[in-house]
A and B are shown apart, each in its own frame.
Chain A
Amino acid sequence: MAEARIVGIDLGTTNSLVAYMQGDQPVVIPGEDGANLVPSVVAIPDPKKVIVGFPAYPYLASQPDRVVYSVKRLMGRGVEDIQEELKLFPFHLAPDIQPAEVLRLEIGDQQYTPPEISAYVLRQLKKNAERYFGAPVTKAVVTVPAYFNDAQRQATKDAGRMAGLEVLRLVNEPTAAALAYGLDREKEGIVAVYDLGGGTFDISILKLHEGIFEVIATNGDTHLGGDDIDHLLMAIALDDIRGEYNLDLSTNAEAVQAIRKAVIDAKIVLSSAEKAYISLTLPNGQPYNREITREQFEQIIQPVLDRTVGPCKQALKDAGLKPEQIGEVVLVGGSTRIPLVRRLTDQLFQLSERGKKPHTELNPDEVVALGAAVQAHILEGGSKATEDMLLLDVTPLSLGIEALGGVVAKIIQRNSTIPASVTEHFTTGVDGQTNVAIHVVQGEREMAKDCRSLARFDLKGIPPMSAGLPRIEVKFLIDANGILHVSAREQRSGKEAEIEVKPTYGLTDEQVENMILESFDYAEQDFAERQLIEARNEAATILAAVDKAPSHPAWRQLTDDEHTQIGMVAEEVRVLSEGDDLQALRDATRALDQATRRFAELMMDSAVGSAIRGETMESAGEKLGEGPTAPHPIAPAEIK
């Protein structure tokens, strides 16, 4: 491979995918099982055994407290944010988590942060891609909900780092979807992307012009998605069972998981059928079978879907547009298969009355990953397919500083094109003060306590001066990933001010570093895979040379015994290179090298002879089908 490939990853609440650009089309890379999706489910039956994806499913029934799913909802969040959903998740938090601290899940006697769990999913996708390419993959574009705040973005980036992936760019999911759609047709005009996934909702409004994808406004809810529909149905089934069988299953994790599976199945059926059954076997052996009609289902989920209306209206308002000015609507995310969602978006954007239909041509589960692959390709330098394509995204939330009295002074408004920056000046309030604390928040509310706390920055080492005299210039910069960077300098002394950052819900660099080390055994597993691939390549090279050997004059100079010996060892190498035993393959390859050593020497001699007759060593080598770098193809097999 000429250069390292950059893959595109959709790290979803329910499912995750990895894709890349094949020629001028993005394609999803399947796993070993042939499936495009890797469920974002991680089972940790014991600390040495981490199981990701479909194989983790059975543990939901057998050991539900050792399985984590929908961890995306916990990324960059605090214990105070997630009380509601914790009730229905089978896994448990560590008991000693303080507010504004990074979450820790307790699985057995081990603790895992949400980025670590996500890292296992990413590592699986990385493995799938490496298996597909037969080469290491270390760089990726990862998608995030557009409405993710700084902490949630940082947590996603940290997860990449723990998984051994350099995240070159975080792309907003609706924007990625627009990229995937934009590749096929020459679109111009205004596009709205309505993205209702497993756990998050986003609305983005873009302006497309000659390959530029300019996001004008975005809005959403990072706590709204298919999961909420499942939770509503689960609550109803639990109530129902309590009433009918006098059974309280809400504390029975295994039963709750069985109900979860049953309601998800029913939900999916209801997207195409008029009625479905929530059916399962209760722990007491009795069957539970409840009919649910499309109409009942729609009544139940209406409140969830209504929560998408506000963000849509706000985005339109921020963009300064009326619904009828939206040229195209793209539907993304598995939950947009629900007929009621289709009706709601039709109404919101007045589609059918304008003779329009929403775009659903691309698989709503895959479109985000495909768009990530397009963006990865753009970062690689692009090609004809992505020529002129450029993404200009925005920050979803306003950035502010807590001023006196707890009021927020907004410094970067939401929907500002990123990267965006602002420079502010600070001073001291007391004579000789050498520290200034800055509290940075994200959100739209007036008071800092109602906004999301991002971090507290402590400007240190200010030269002691009278109050109000120091002039500290602080630059706040939101990069193209939507992540905040802060730098400061004291202007009078010209000194770079030292900044100590306390991320509110995040991990420090050091903590991330430690988590990479903790998952080292998996890195080793990857390394072993890579070594096996390399050993197979070595073996293939030497076998190709052996196959051609009989046609070389030097072959006839070997004895019959030598011919037999080479044939036997070569066969052994051939068999072993199909298997997984690295050491045996290496040993056999070395033995084959030994067995062919005399032949190599004879060949060298004849090559020297032919060089005298006007032939070069290289051309003698080339006749045996090997590259010009090796003087003879059967060189001592050295494991690099």
Chain B
Amino acid sequence: MPAAGAAPFAMQTAESQSVNAACWSCGCFVPAGKPWCDACGKIQAPSEGVDYFTVFGLPRKLLIDLTALERNFYRMSRKLHPDLYAQASPDERQWSLDQTSLLNDAYRTMKNPIARTEYLLRLEGVEIEAGRSEDGKPKDSRVPPDLLEEVFELNMQLEEMRMNRKMGEDDPQLRADLEKARTQFESQLAAVDTSLESLWTRWDEIVENASAGAEANKIKGEIIALLDRRRYIRNLVRDVNEALEN
């Protein structure tokens, strides 16, 4: 098979600007990204390059009212879903499919704070490591220096656990140690999330004040570092969970 290197999560970038258009049915003005015509209610062809924030009419901020987001998602689903166009023209059926998949993709990303943050960073031109490299293999991020010792210890314990399982033995002390490690890493994960939240607030302030780039770049850098750390710790917790479950 020729190299079909799957690019790590591709997406529409902000460069492709969407344009306003006239409603195909009544000719009224339809703002870019608006999936239906307010004048006649008809569904519209999706415009190119609409980003997920625009789908929900939201500014590019990181803190989101999830209840409002869900309400909005339901409201838009009730207008766009293919079930409502089963008997419509082929064009309208296709647009409903395209608009609804865009809406669903946007909702999936926006409701998850981490996915939302990564998405926004990509919109801002940052290449995010999506957990796999060009060849599709998960790429090990580097161990955060302050965790080196704990990770080393943990890996020893995990290895021991694997050996025990192979021999059909159970070491209660080891199990307790792993459980302790899990609690410890989970609290570190919580700490990362708290730091992330304060960064989101700062980011949103910058968006609100439309402040200069230097500050924004600094926050972006901090967010990227925290996301890396978070991904690393989350993988550790997952490994411990797997070891304990089996």
Whether A403 contacts B136 in the complex (CB less than 8 A), given A390-B83, A426-B6, A436-B4, comes out as yes
In angstroms, how far is the closest chain B Cβ from the Cβ of A454? 15
Chain B residue nearest to A419 in the complex (CB): B101
Task: Give B101 Cβ to nearest chain A Cβ, in Å.
Answer: 4
Stretch in B104-112, B175-183, B195-203 touching the partner: B104-112
Cα–Cα, bound, A210→B73 (Å)? 13
Report chain B residues within 8 Å CB of A319.
none
Question: Are A423 and B83 in contact (CB-based, < 8 A)?
Answer: no
Question: A419 near B97 (CB under 8 angstroms)?
Answer: yes
Query: Do residues B83 and A391 form an inter-chain contact, with CB atoms below 8 A?
Result: yes
Picked from B12, B74, B78, B108, the residue with its CB within 8 Å of the CB of A416 is B108
Distance, CA A429 to CA B6, complexed state (A): 12
The answer to whether B97 and A411 touch across the interface, beta carbons within 8 angstroms, is: no
Residues of B contacting A379 in the complex (Cβ-Cβ under 8 angstroms): 83, 86-87
Given A379-B86, A390-B77, are A403 and B101 neighbors across the interface (CB < 8 Å)? no
Does A512 interact with chain B (Cβ within 8 Å)?
no
* Inter-chain contact B86/A427, CB cutoff 8 Å: no
Contact B78 A390 (CB under 8 A): yes
- Take A405-B135, A416-B108, A419-B100 as given contacts and tell me if A426 and B86 are in contact as well, using a CB distance cutoff of 8 Å: no
- Interfacial chain A residues near B132, Cβ < 8 Å: 409
Q: Across the interface, do A390 and B81 meet the contact criterion of CB distance under 8 Å?
A: yes
A542 CB to nearest chain B CB (Å)? 35
Residue among A168, A392, A439 with the most chain B CB within 10 A? A392
Known interface pairs A419-B100, A424-B10, A428-B3; A403-B82 also in contact (CB < 8 Å): no
Residue of B nearest to A391 (CB): B83
- CB <8 Å contact, B104 and A420: yes
Complex Cα spacing A473 to B81, Å: 25
Could you tell me the distance between the alpha carbons of A437 and B6 in the complex, rounded to whole angstroms? 11
Identify the closest chain B residue to A479 (Cβ). Answer: B97
For residue A606, CB closer than 8 A to chain B, the reply is no
How many residue pairs bridge A and B at CB < 8 Å? 115
Given contacts A169-B83, A426-B7, A480-B83, contact A407 B101 (CB under 8 A): no
A118-130 to B contact mask, C-beta < 8 Å, 1/0: 0000000000000
Closest CB-CB distance, A477 to chain B, in whole Å?
A: 6
**Total number of A residues with any Cβ neighbor in B under 8 Å:** 50
| Chain B 5-42 near chain A by CB (<8 Å), digits 1 or 0 | 11101111000000000000000000000000000000
- Distance between Cα atoms of A479 and B135 in the complex (Å): 28
Task: Name the B residues within 8 Å of A391 (CB-CB).
Answer: 83
Whole-angstrom distance from the CB of A121 to the nearest CB of chain B?
24
Task: Mark contacts of A141-181 with chain B using CB atoms, 8 A cut-off: 1 yes-contact digit, 0 otherwise.
Answer: 00000000000000000000000000011000000000000
Counting chain B CB atoms within 10 Å of each CB, which of A212, A409, A426, A477 scores highest?
A409
State whether the Cβ of B2 lies closer than 8 Å to any Cβ in chain A. yes
Contacting B1 at CB < 8 Å: which of A6, A380, A437, A477?
A: A437
- Contact residues in B for A390 (Cβ distance below 8 Å): 77-78, 81, 83
Contact with B along A425-451 (1 / 0, CB 8 A): 111111001011111000000000000
Say yes or no: A435 contacts B12, CB within 8 Å. no
A546 beta carbon closer than 8 Å to chain B: no
Contact A428 B2 (CB under 8 A): yes
Question: B137 at interface (Cβ–Cβ under 8 A)?
Answer: yes
Interface residue B102 (Cβ < 8 Å from any Cβ of A): yes
Q: B156 → chain A, closest Cβ, in Å?
A: 25
Other-chain residue from A380, A407, A421 in contact with B136 (beta carbon distance below 8 A): A407
**With A169-B86, A380-B87, A480-B83 as given contacts, are A427 and B136 in contact (CB-CB < 8 Å)?**
no
A473 surroundings in chain B (CB, below 8 A): 10
A422 at the interface (CB under 8 A from B): yes
Name A436's contact: one of B2, B7, B12 (CB within 8 Å). Answer: B2
| Residue in chain A with minimal CB distance to B137 | A407
CA–CA, A61 and B104, complex, Å: 52
Contact between B87 and A403 (Cβ–Cβ < 8 Å)? no
Q: Are the CB atoms of B108 and A417 closer together than 8 Å?
A: yes
In this assembly, does A408 line the interface, its C-beta being within 8 Å of a C-beta of chain B? yes
Given contacts A429-B3, A429-B5, A480-B82, contact A422 B87 (CB under 8 A): no
| Shortest Cβ gap from B107 to chain A (Å) | 7
Residues of A within 8 A of B1 (CB): 402, 437, 439
Contacts A380-B87, A407-B136; is A401 near B97 (CB within 8 Å)?
no
Q: How far is the CA of A419 from the CA of B77 in the complex (A)?
A: 11
B-facing residues in A439-495 (Cβ within 8 Å): 439, 473, 477-480
A409 touches B102 (CB 8 A): no
CB distance from A85 to the nearest CB of B (A): 30
Q: How far is the CA of A636 from the CA of B136 in the complex (A)?
A: 75
A560 CA / B104 CA spacing, docked (Å) = 77
Nearest B residue to A411 via CB reads B6
Bound complex: CA of A423 vs CA of B77, how far in Å? 22
Output the nearest chain B residue to A381 by Cβ-Cβ distance: B87
CA distance in complex: A430, B5 (Å): 12
A473–B48 Cα distance when bound, in Å, is 14
- A378 part of interface (Cβ distance < 8 Å): yes
- B6, B82, B101, B107: which has the most chain A beta carbons within 10 Å? B6
Which residue of chain A is the closest to B11 with respect to CB atoms? A423
Q: Which residue of A212, A375, A425 contacts B7 across the interface (Cβ within 8 Å)?
A: A425
In the bound complex, CA of A418 to CA of B78 (Å):
14
Known: A169-B83, A416-B108, A473-B10. 15 other contacts (CB 8 A): A169-B86, A209-B74, A380-B87, A403-B6, A404-B135, A404-B136, A407-B135, A407-B136, A407-B137, A419-B82, A421-B98, A423-B10, A424-B7, A429-B2, A478-B101
A to B CB contacts below 8 Å, 26 in the list: A379-B83, A390-B77, A390-B78, A392-B81, A401-B4, A402-B4, A403-B5, A403-B6, A407-B136, A409-B6, A409-B136, A416-B108, A420-B108, A423-B10, A423-B12, A424-B6, A426-B7, A428-B2, A428-B3, A429-B5, A430-B3, A433-B2, A439-B1, A439-B4, A477-B97, A477-B101
Interface, chain B (partner A; CB < 8 A): 1-7, 9-12, 74, 77-78, 81-83, 86-87, 97-98, 100-102, 104-105, 107-108, 132, 135-137
Lowest 4 A-B CB distances belong to which pairs?
A429-B3, A403-B136, A379-B86, A419-B101
List A residues at the B interface (Cβ < 8 Å).
6, 168-169, 209-210, 212, 375, 378-381, 388, 390-392, 401-405, 407-409, 411, 416-430, 433, 435-439, 473, 477-480
